[in-house]
């Protein structure tokens, strides 16, 4: 035990203290390693079905530091002028009073690289992927009722 480092000695001392304060009516539980989660989702590749159709995957971009006078319509028009389109533009409410507006822009995931490119937004505009949930809208698929 002469070659033991200080951290090893302190860890050994802590373990012996735990054992000495251990009461027989309780069991000391050590932390167990977490198992890696197994991904079970798979993606189909068949091209035959015209009856089953896949939704368009959505993504959202956070855009900020725009003047207070900028509206959702201004953002939509700018995106059209850049030759792109978006699903929705939402003005975000600030937690505290700021001198700028921020927006959440919902786009098709396949267009994400375009909207996150440095050449897309004007100089000084801050942008990134939106942190949070991207809603895909209400569930409109219903079964017909017989009555």
Residue-by-residue pLDDT tens, the chain, 147 positions: 455 565 555 555 555 555 555 556 777 777 777 777 777 888 888 887 778 888 899 999 999 999 999 999 999 999 999 999 999 999 999 899 999 999 999 999 999 999 999 999 999 999 999 998 766 555 444 344 444
- Please report the pLDDT score of residue 135 as a whole number: 64
What torsion do the CA atoms of 82, 88, 94, 100 make, to the nearest 10 degrees? 20
- Please report the pLDDT score of residue 32 as a whole number: 77
Task: Show me where the domains of the chain are located.
Answer: 58-129
- Please report the pLDDT score of residue 58 as a whole number: 94
pTM across the whole model: 0.61
Domain 58-129 in CATH: superfamily? RRM (RNA recognition motif) domain (3.30.70.330)
- Please report the pLDDT score of residue 4 as a whole number: 56
Tokens of 85: 């389109």
């Amino acid at each position: 035990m002469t070659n033991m480092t200080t951290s090893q000695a302190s860890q050994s001392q802590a373990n012996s203290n735990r054992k000495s304060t251990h009461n027989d009516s309780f069991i000391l539980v050590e932390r167990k390693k977490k198992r890696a989660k197994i991904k079970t989702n798979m993606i189909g590749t068949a091209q035959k079905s015209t009856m089953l159709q896949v939704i368009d995957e959505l993504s959202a971009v956070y855009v900020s530091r725009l003047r207070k006078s900028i509206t959702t319509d201004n953002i939509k028009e700018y995106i059209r002028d850049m030759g792109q389109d978006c699903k929705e533009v939402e003005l975000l409410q600030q937690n505290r009073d700021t001198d700028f507006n921020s927006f959440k822009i919902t786009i098709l995931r396949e267009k994400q690289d375009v909207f996150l490119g440095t050449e897309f937004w004007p100089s000084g505009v801050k942008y990134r992927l939106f942190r949070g949930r991207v809603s895909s809208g209400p569930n409109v698929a219903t079964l017909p009722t017989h009555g």
